[in-house]
């Protein structure tokens, strides 16, 4: 990459959450393969991020590459209105077969945030169709994160959800205090009280509860007790409120179960998936719901579900997603995740001894070091790259979620370099 190209990038291209006048530095990538990112300088970095939870089988996976090539030669895209195709049908079959019952109606969306918009719209249309228009608020959890579009922003944590500057113009929803009891602690019924109180008082106005099951991701990388999820499900049943599980980060094996809802053996009424759906190859997401919800919407005033993006059901993305799910269907991921979990526990636990570290937590293939103070993100990034690893912390959180195919040696290199950098930062 030439210095001119990099200059153009700095001056003309927005990267996620960056400034145009004072952009944070970006490293030029030449290629990716397996669990590594090769920079144009020739440096090879072990990737700890899986491109934000998505590249679960590593980069340039042969099976997925082959599926993409075969599909692109046949049909890259065709509109989904009035037309259908095998890749979408196969993907819907795959999703219905691996998600909890009774989720069996599939809406294919463009990205995680759009899948959340679709889920919210489904919940609103459901109650409208039942003649209960006043049920149009949502309840969400503090420390939650659900995306960057307007409907999604309105259910993110109002303060740390990165969208507080829009708070005056976003629709107002209810927020329950976030779960405090961690995954391994003894359950305490007090934990669910804040949510129970909101639902008891406001259920007549509430269409749905939206939450990230078991792991609250971008809002704090917090891992909570499965009993919270079970009780939340029971409360939704009691108060006639739909449950939306946002599995966009947690889905497809990441927490050690195919979907994090399985830790509590519950089924949501609506589920959003994205990120790892295509094994990190391209953007695609889905919102699933039950026959009951779908039929009610379809028999309502509008007689249909009011959403339909241009690239809905993109065949290329569906074919790639099918290839990724077919790899998961071999079941190998379970052993991979449990080995990664062990490696993360072993490798990151030494950080607990550092006075600057508040907590170290691991579930499945997710490892988190929480510090007392926010890191200097530019400096720590440089330190990681010097150690030949790719880790991108935010705030007080240094966290990784490597590809399931990472080998023990690379994982050990990743964790030991992280502990070393955190210690010296």
Based on the residue annotation, tell me whether 17 is a catalytic residue of this protein: yes
Buried b (16+ CB within 10 A) or exposed e, 27-37: beeeebebbbb
Nearest approach in angstroms of CB 268 to ligand PLP is 13
For the bound state, the minimum distance from the C-beta of residue 53 to ligand PLP, rounded and expressed in Å, comes to: 7
DSSP letters, 189-203, are GGGGHHHHHHHHHHG
Q: Is residue 110 a contact point for ligand PLP (CB under 6 A)?
A: no
Q: Which helix (H) or strand (E) holds 327?
A: helix 315-329
Determine, following the binding rule CB under 6 A, whether residue 324 of this chain makes contact with ligand PLP: no
Q: Minimal distance in Å, beta carbon 247 to ligand PLP?
A: 8
Question: In the complex with ligand PLP, which residue's Cβ is closer, 175 or 239?
Answer: 175
Out of 34, 58, 112, 179, which residue is the one contacting ligand PLP (CB under 6 A)?
A: 112
- Is 218 an interacting residue with respect to ligand PLP (CB under 6 A)? yes
* Token code pair at residue 408: 């023990």
Task: Name the active-site residue from 47, 157, 191, 246.
Answer: 246
Q: How many CB atoms lie within 10 A of CB 378?
A: 9
**DSSP one-letter code for 182:** B
Q: Say which residue the tokens 């400096």 belong to.
A: 379
126, 145, 228, 399: the active-site residue: 145
Alpha helices in 249-314 (DSSP H): 291-298
| Comparison of 196 and 221: residue with beta carbon closer to ligand PLP | 221
Closer by beta carbon to ligand PLP, 87 or else 280: 280
Q: What is the CA radius of gyration of the chain?
A: 21
Q: What are phi and psi of 284, to 5 degrees?
A: -165, 145
Q: Which is nearer to ligand PLP, 52 or 187 (CB)?
A: 52
Residue 212: name the closest of 224, 202, 198 by CA.
224
Residue 91 binds ligand PLP (CB under 6 A): no
229 sits near ligand PLP (criterion: CB under 6 A): no
Give the residue at shortest CB distance from ligand PLP: 112
Q: Is 224 a catalytic residue?
A: no
Find the binder of ligand PLP among 161, 217, 220, 256 (CB under 6 A): 217
Annotated catalytic, 246?
Answer: yes
Measured from the CB atom, the residue of 248 and 351 that comes closer to ligand PLP is 248
Binding status of residue 113 toward ligand PLP by CB under 6 A: yes
What is the three-class DSSP state of 383?
A: helix
Two tokens, residue 8: 């153009």
Query: Phi and psi at residue 155, in whole multiples of 5°?
Result: -110, 5
Q: Measuring CA to CA, which residue among 235, 310, 288, 315 is closest to residue 116?
A: 288
222's tokens: 């917090």
# chain residues binding ligand PLP, by CB under 6 A: 14
Q: Which stretch binds ligand PLP (CB under 6 A): 110-118, 175-183, 318-326, 393-401?
A: 110-118
Closest by CA to 372, choosing from 416, 422, 418, is: 422
Q: Which of residues 29-68 bind ligand PLP (CB under 6 A)?
A: none
Residues 234-273 binding ligand PLP (CB under 6 A) are 246, 248-249
State the minimum distance, in angstroms, from the CB of residue 78 to ligand PLP.
23
Query: Contact, 26 vs 15, CB < 8 A?
Result: yes
Residue 393 binding ligand PLP, by CB under 6 A = no
Contact indicator for 93, 326 with CB cutoff of 8 Å: no
* Cα–Cα distance measured from residue 362 to residue 384, given in angstroms and rounded to the nearest whole number: 20
Smallest gap from Cβ 114 to ligand PLP, in A, equals 7
> End-to-end distance of the chain based on CA atoms, in angstroms?
30
CA 226 to chain centre: 18
Nearer to ligand PLP, 145 or 239 (CB): 145
- Active site residue: 275, 281, 396, 404, which one? 275
356 is catalytic: no
* Calpha distance 308→300 (Å, rounded): 18
- Interface with ligand PLP (CB under 6 A), residue from 57, 105, 146, 233: 146
Taking the least distance from each CB to ligand PLP, the nearer of 246 and 269 is 246
Q: Of the candidates 108, 109, 116, 360, which one interacts with ligand PLP according to CB under 6 A?
A: 116
> Which residues belong to the active site?
17, 145, 246, 275
Binding residues (CB under 6 A) for ligand PLP: these are: 111-113, 116, 145-147, 212, 217-218, 246, 248-249, 274
């Amino acid at each position: 990459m030439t210095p001119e190209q990099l200059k153009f990038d700095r001056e003309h291209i927005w990267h996620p959450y960056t400034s145009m006048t004072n952009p944070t530095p970006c490293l030029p990538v030449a290629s990716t393969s397996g669990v590594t990112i090769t920079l144009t300088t020739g440096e090879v970095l072990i990737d700890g991020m899986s491109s934000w939870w998505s590249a679960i089988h590593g980069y340039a996976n042969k099976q997925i590459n082959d599926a993409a090539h075969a599909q692109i030669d046949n049909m890259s895209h065709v509109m989904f209105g009035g037309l259908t195709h095998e890749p979408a049908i196969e993907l819907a079959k795959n999703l219905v077969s691996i998600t909890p019952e009774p989720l069996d109606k599939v809406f294919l969306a463009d990205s995680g945030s759009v899948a959340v918009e679709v889920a919210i719209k489904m919940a609103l249309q459901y109650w409208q169709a039942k003649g209960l228009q006043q049920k149009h608020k949502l309840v969400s959890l503090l420390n939650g994160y659900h995306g960057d579009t307007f409907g999604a922003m309105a259910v993110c944590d109002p303060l740390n959800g990165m969208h507080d500057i829009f708070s005056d113009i976003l629709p107002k929803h209810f927020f329950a205090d976030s779960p405090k009891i961690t995954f391994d602690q003894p359950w305490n019924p007090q934990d669910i009280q804040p949510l129970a109180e909101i639902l008891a008082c406001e259920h007549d106005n509430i269409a749905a509860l939206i939450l990230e099951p078991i792991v609250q991701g971008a809002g704090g990388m917090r891992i909570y007790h499965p009993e919270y999820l079970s009780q939340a499900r029971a409360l939704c049943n009691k108060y006639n409120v739909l449950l939306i599980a946002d599995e966009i980060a947690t889905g497809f094996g990441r927490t050690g179960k195919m979907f994090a809802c399985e830790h509590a053996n519950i089924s949501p009424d609506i589920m959003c998936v994205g990120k790892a759906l295509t094994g990190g190859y391209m953007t695609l997401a889905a919102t699933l719901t039950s026959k009951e919800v779908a039929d009610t919407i379809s028999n309502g005033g509008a007689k249909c579900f009011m959403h339909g993006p241009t690239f809905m059901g993109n065949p290329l993305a569906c074919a790639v997603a099918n290839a990724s799910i077919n790899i998961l269907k071999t079941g190998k991921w379970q052993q991979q995740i449990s080995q990664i979990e062990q490696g993360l526990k072993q490798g990151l636990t030494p950080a607990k001894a550092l006075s600057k570290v508040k907590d170290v937590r691991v579930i499945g293939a997710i490892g988190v070091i929480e510090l007392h103070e926010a890191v200097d993100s530019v400096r720590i990034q440089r330190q990681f790259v010097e150690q030949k690893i790719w880790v991108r912390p935010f705030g007080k959180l240094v966290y990784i979620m490597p590809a399931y195919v990472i080998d023990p040696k690379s994982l050990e290199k990743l964790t030991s370099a992280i502990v070393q950098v955190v210690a010296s930062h």
